[in-house]
A and B are shown apart, each in its own frame.
Chain A
């Protein structure tokens, strides 16, 4: 299974300038190399491959940007990628200036020498997607009609992808004035029957919280993608973090049911984004997909045929017994949903406490009844988890020590788990917290070590509250994801 974790050391560095060499040269593994533009990098690097790219560009009268193609050409030769493969890739991915890029790539290719031999795959390759592309495709697979977002790293590429494929899928893609409008427009769309999702990061989500609470009260289905980055405030906009679980779980005034899923890689993202859309509509609640910079903008490849099927599961519809009551009190707390316009129904959404037909009320009995409706709906949502696989277990089942992790730490934890012979427990659904499934996975464990990219061990704290004992925490909060080497070292220290 491809896991895509980060590693400390690299085989090859491609350096177009001296800064790159200075910053990264200590990371080259034994037997690795630095391929560099010898016109810019002034030192002579032992066992490196220097290519005078600037000189080549001048000879070919090529624009400066083509130095990239030149160094990629040299890299291909060094690792044994055949010229015709590179030629095909450049022709496909560089539609503007293809000829000149091919020419410079070939010069770079010819100037380098082979270093490592990579064997070609003799089978059909898997798709290569970013986490955000996977989320977008997952939403579309689940029947998305509309995507609304204001740009914010690391969620913007969902907006870009959706806009790109909008015509193909009959999608409506909107970029409004701010995140307040994003959320409220989404609720309007959903009220008129559109399956809708929004995307942002922590800062944008701050602006969405009043709309979130409205979604809770008015029982409007909406999917919210949160791409976590390093906060507080602007923080490190282009780095990673896992600090928004507590925020997302508690956001919005009042108490109402919600669903939070945190996929660990692109494959899970594709599947669970669709599930989130279905759950939002089935229960008429806000459903969150919690991702982070590492997953959202990281590249993954996986076998699409192994991703569980999903389709638009619709909503509980009205049996057409008159009159229609938007907030009909039912045994399971879910009221039938009718879509505006309906010749026979008057459909009233309301942010105030309301009676069954949606008219404001302050009457104590009705207020309590509506709260209890939420409680029943929340309980039903908890039961719904049994229809899915909300907790993954990897690694050595019999190991007494286990790593507990969530979201994008999945890959690195599995890899380090394998190295150290540990079990890895990964809750994918974080709310309602899959307590029973976690307890089952914890059985027989001597020590459970929770790995999170935050200071306060947010998910571990909740797990402990709910009776899933965590023994130690490993936290990282410098904006960088764990590398395999680093996590291995820190686990060894904890398990000593």
Chain B
């Protein structure tokens, strides 16, 4: 049991069968476990973008910054830099992270800022009623592409690996225990941790039968090997029908961006003295 009611009274407006419910429940259990392990709930900050996923900011009774589309990662980065003791978690959508805010995702990984990025990847825009996203398969018929898309999807795992992410994982919203385990490891990872969650959109892109058939968990797998991770990440290209590995593909320890900013605060009087010194140098 957690010390506080983790879910707010806000009315939940996700569609019945939405994959967001299981992500929310998994995250709730992770919060409870981490609190039991000694991390105060007040240290968590949830940052969300805009999209169906983002409503999770309203639903969790946790510090949050319900930001704007595509911009979860810079907000989270700022929070972490201001206070490296906080546990900052971005819940973001595939439109958010892979389209509108792709630059920030790549740079977050490149800097190895110690935050966790959870992508609710349902491969469709749900909130704006069914347009294709960067991970929709070729030929996807959405409301902006009635004849089918004419572009291949991105492979976010491959992209994250090549951008320098220090924790790269994939999970599936219909496999709760596994999802929970990966989320917890991601949050505890020191550095930029990234999880692409294959999430069901019950209304606009319900491919659970395909996922159910093709997903498998990585076993007897060494997550320290970059090239092996890249190979496994390429096993499924988000387009063809093939086996879909789930798990932690890659993890490494490295210096973190927020670690550079542990500067000593100075008093107002010290500040004034140093300003005077600078002015004297300029005289």
| Interface residues in chain A, defined as those with a beta carbon under 8 Å from any beta carbon in chain B | 124-129, 133, 137, 140-141, 143, 145-146, 148, 165-172, 174, 176-178, 180-181, 183-194, 196, 210-211, 214, 218, 304, 311-312, 340-343, 345-352, 354, 358-360
Contacts and interface: CB of A to CB of B under 8 A. Distances in A.
B45 to A, nearest CB: 6
B25 interface: no
Contacts of B68: 184, 210-211, 214, 351
16 contacts: A141-B271, A141-B272, A167-B263, A169-B274, A172-B263, A176-B107, A177-B107, A184-B78, A185-B77, A185-B81, A341-B42, A342-B42, A347-B64, A350-B66, A351-B50, A359-B10
Nearest to A218: B65
Given A192-B86, A193-B82, A359-B8, A185 B74 contact: yes
A340 B79 contact: yes
Contact of A188 (B42, B76, B107): B76
Contacts of A176: 74, 77, 107
Nearest to B88: A188
A146 B82 contact: yes
Contacts of A304: 276, 279
Contacts of A183: 74
Nearest to B42: A341
B280 interface: yes
Contact of B83 (A165, A170, A192): A192
B261 interface: yes
A169 B57 contact: no
B104 interface: yes
Contacts of B107: 176-177, 181
B274 A188 contact: no
Contacts of A185: 74-75, 77-78, 81
Place the interface of chain B in its size category.
35 or more
Interface of B: 8, 10, 40, 42-43, 45, 47, 50, 55, 57-58, 61-68, 71, 74-83, 85-86, 103-104, 106-107, 261, 263-266, 268, 271-272, 274-276, 278-280, 282-283
A472 to B, nearest CB: 39
A169 B63 contact: no
Nearest to A341: B42
Q: Which has the most chain A C-beta neighbours within 10 Å: B61, B261, B265, B282? A: B282
B63 A340 contact: yes
Nearest to B281: A127
A170 B266 contact: yes
A89 to B, nearest CB: 12
A141 B268 CA distance: 8
A345 B82 CA distance: 18
Contacts of A345: 42
Contact of A127 (B62, B261, B264, B283): B283
B89 to A, nearest CB: 13
Nearest to A342: B42
Contacts of B10: 359-360
A146 B278 CA distance: 19
Contacts of B67: 184, 187, 214, 349, 351
A146 B260 CA distance: 13
A348 B266 contact: no
A169 B78 contact: no
A400 to B, nearest CB: 40
